[in-house]
Structure 1
């Protein structure tokens, strides 16, 4: 049984936009040990809607990240949120034999969502025929950003520094990578031992992306400072932008949810800036004639913002 909720959200112009959200939509997942549970949120009206598939951070689920999912859906996107195997809602123990491969199951979850778009579309009342399957973006926060980056072309290096399998997906046209961890050369000994998949190469991450990093995000997994989170921008090819948020820690002001325990730097204004800029980026990346991102980037470049700065290449 799925739950259907209708919420009213605000567009940038203040016009109310109804959002319909359905959960859980279940996609069969042979070999995963658990079928894939998904939340789908979409505008109640409109057609040719682009898609954003969002990968949550460690321990979260399809129920998190309302500040982003609700905002994007209210501004014209179909937002799809799978629940990965590391979710606290599933309670899978550390000793589970799937644990070492959860990073890979996560990537497969996103591909499975893309394969099942017809099923997901049909699960939302009134959505059938309104989704543009050719305009797809992926997004993610923290571990979710690493998951999403694989579909953009990032690859995992083995112990000899050789790039592993290419898991990029040509269906994905753009990405938003929030607090994506950096190069594996800078892992702490604990992280290097327990998280061998945290050794990315961004050299082949060619799909356009917006990288978002906090300048106070000090990770216990890295021997470096917050600039570690700028590696995905620095070490990837062009068609990338980097939004550096002043004073932001790993939750970037509160994107996982409102008043959640993990947010140590709650800042509604910072979250609002992320909402505005990610929405503009996604619209322009998936609709080339849309100039909203160019306008927003120019404005931020010409008039320094107290909450962040933007660079592009």
Structure 2
């Protein structure tokens, strides 16, 4: 990929009416100012964040030819909804509805950005997310939440979604701490039906307070999903994976511009490869993965199946 890239434009908030949600859905849309047939990435933020987070990824993807759509979920600190709110136990489902609402309203979102109308490619859509957002995104790729008896729950996948980037996606529910098992019962995923291509990113120093296991918990989505998946394990990375939620944010305890730059490069190459499988002349992904594998002091390792 060339280091030169076009300017981008971002518009926020775009308001999508959401009857029954209690709050209309606020969305940020970012896009390159030029180009047509632009693929779409819908990004789901981690707990407490909002459409204003994750600029290191969202801006990079937009600059490299994607329309990036970032909804603000109900758990966002910007909304101030308390844990006692009766909607809280269902926020995990409402998050999924938020992503599907975005897909349903792409025409509205497209019209909200000056000059964007007619430039989207609605046949090339990916989802991405970090932490809770990765779990939200994974359901549109076919992951399911197990019921109390261990049976797979409702199929919430969406055929419009062709690929995913899942960052610090939590693992199986058998390894939850007692607190997480009681308070977060939706964290019981099954990845066996998550079939579209996905890049799964885990930090080898990501020690979750929700799991009784170590950082390998975050590799479960790769281990227990069917083929056509790639796992990127980042060396020394904690839950923010070097700082993807934002530059110099307080929650980043493993700040690494080099790690973030690697994620920018690899995720962009993966998205292009996954959304344009017919483009056999596009070697960005092969070039990016080869560079990592041949680096004498690599920042991580790749596995594919």
SS at match of 1:298: helix
- The Cα shift of 1:223 comes to 0.3
User: Secondary structure of 1:68's match?
Assistant: helix
* Per-residue deviation, residues 177-221 of structure 1 (Å, max 9, x unmatched): 000000000000010000000000000000110000000000000
Q: Which residue of 2 aligns with 1:124?
A: 113
Q: Does 1:84 align with 2:73?
A: yes
| Structure-2-length-normalised TM-score | 0.97
Aligned with 2:7: secondary structure? strand
Find 1:23's aligned residue among 9, 12, 34.
Answer: 12
CA distance in 1, matches of 2:4, 2:213: 44
Shift of 1:304: 5.1
Residue 94 (structure 1) shift: 0.9
1:100-141: CA deviations, max 9, x gaps? 000000000000000000000000000000000000000000
Deviation at 1:30, TM superposition (A): 1.1
Q: Secondary structure at the match of 1:172?
A: coil
The structure 1 residue matched to 2:98, chosen from 82, 101, 109, is 109
Residue of structure 2 aligned with 1:239, choices 228, 244, 263: 228
Identify the residue that residue 292 of structure 2 maps to in structure 1.
Answer: 300
Partners of 2:51 and 2:201 in 1: CA distance: 21
Q: Once the 2 structures are TM-superposed, how far is the Cα of residue 302 of structure 1 from its aligned partner?
A: 4.0
Task: Name the structure 2 match of 1:69.
Answer: 58
Q: Is the 2:143–2:157 Cα contact (8 Å) retained in structure 1?
A: yes
1:267-282 alignment, distance < 5 Å: 267-282=256-271
* TM-align CA RMSD: 0.9
Equivalent in the alignment of 1:171: 160
Counterpart CA distance in 2 for 1:15 and 1:177 is: 26
- Consecutive unaligned residues of structure 1, counting only runs of 5 or more, are 1-11
Q: Deviations over 1:9-49 (max 9, x none)?
A: xxx53324110000000111111111100000000000000
CA distance in 2, matches of 1:312, 1:111: 28
Pairwise mapping of residues 230-269 of structure 1 onto structure 2 (< 5 A)?
230-269=219-258
Deviation by residue 1:226-261 (Cα, 9 ceiling, x = unmatched):
000000000000000000000000000000000000
Cα distance in 2 between the residues matched to 1:60 and 1:256:
8
- Per the normalisation by structure 1, the TM-score is 0.95
Aligned length: 302
The reply on whether 1:286 has 2:278 as its aligned counterpart is no
SS of the residue corresponding to residue 17 of structure 1 reads: coil
Q: Which runs of 5+ in 2 are unaligned?
A: none
Q: Contact (CA 8 Å) 2:292, 2:298: kept in 1 or not?
A: no
Q: 1:256 to 1:284 in 2, by over 3 A?
A: same
Q: 2:100 is paired with a residue of what secondary structure?
A: helix
Query: What's 1:222 paired with?
Result: 211
- C-alpha distance in 2, partners of 1:15/1:299? 19
For the Cα contact (< 8 Å) 2:197–2:274, is it kept in 1?
yes
Equivalent in the alignment of 1:5? none
Which residue number in structure 1 is paired with residue 186 of structure 2? 197
Q: 1:145 aligns with which of 126, 130, 134?
A: 134
Structure 1 partner of 2:197? 208
In structure 1, distance between residues paired with 2:156 and 2:96: 8
